[in-house]
Chain A
């Protein structure tokens, strides 16, 4: 289910005018998903800008970055999820060096 919502999220990132109606529909579907998640205590892990925490995040790659401190999440490629505080999928992130 998490996989589906993540895919919907990517899908809803579309700005094309012609598909706006579909876009809205997708967005609403996504929203109903997220509401459902909250009901079951599933929380999204979206750690952009936070220090990298391997308990919750999976490092996908590292990148030199002068702007922020080393070991900071500079991009979230895919959100992670926790169920009752336990990781069911780690967030996939890019970490600064």
Chain B
């Protein structure tokens, strides 16, 4: 049976007074399943943190109990993941209607549900999931952003990305979009693999090329997460920084 070590951390960063990110993780009692969640809220006032917390709570509510059910059909797992996104959307829209101050709130959502050696990854927005295997860092999600669309249609190249003025504009996210069909994929995991979920505060302050020195070795998952967040803070992370890391033992 596969065993996991999971740790996570969320920090407001060095310039923001409020942390609008939310993170959570769970490992089943049998130790054969794990759930990792990161949400990056937006919308001003208290809206961002409300939206991200609603999203994470919806995921834990829908998927949390299912972590204790063995031998689930992969399709059933994907259905449960979409149900979690749908519930999060309903809760956010409902709260937006109730409270005018929260009318613009929304959030990204990325989750990974791991059962034995298979990971189900789902997301909306620009929070990401990475697979780290043998020192190589591979992004498993495709940002729902204007910048990503312009990269794909050839309007801009990677060199332009840090400079374009609309790099923070999302094309899809919970709250703002009517289409909340999560982008999903499944990947097989090997012993020693790491899955890393993060908000864009991490990638904005600490490029992926800097991660390999901070991940790996004998350090615990909690220590590695701390090192990543500390390194992004040392780089004057201007956004909230959140990381959840799973190591396949």
A and B, one complex? no
Interface residues of B (CB under 8 A from A): none
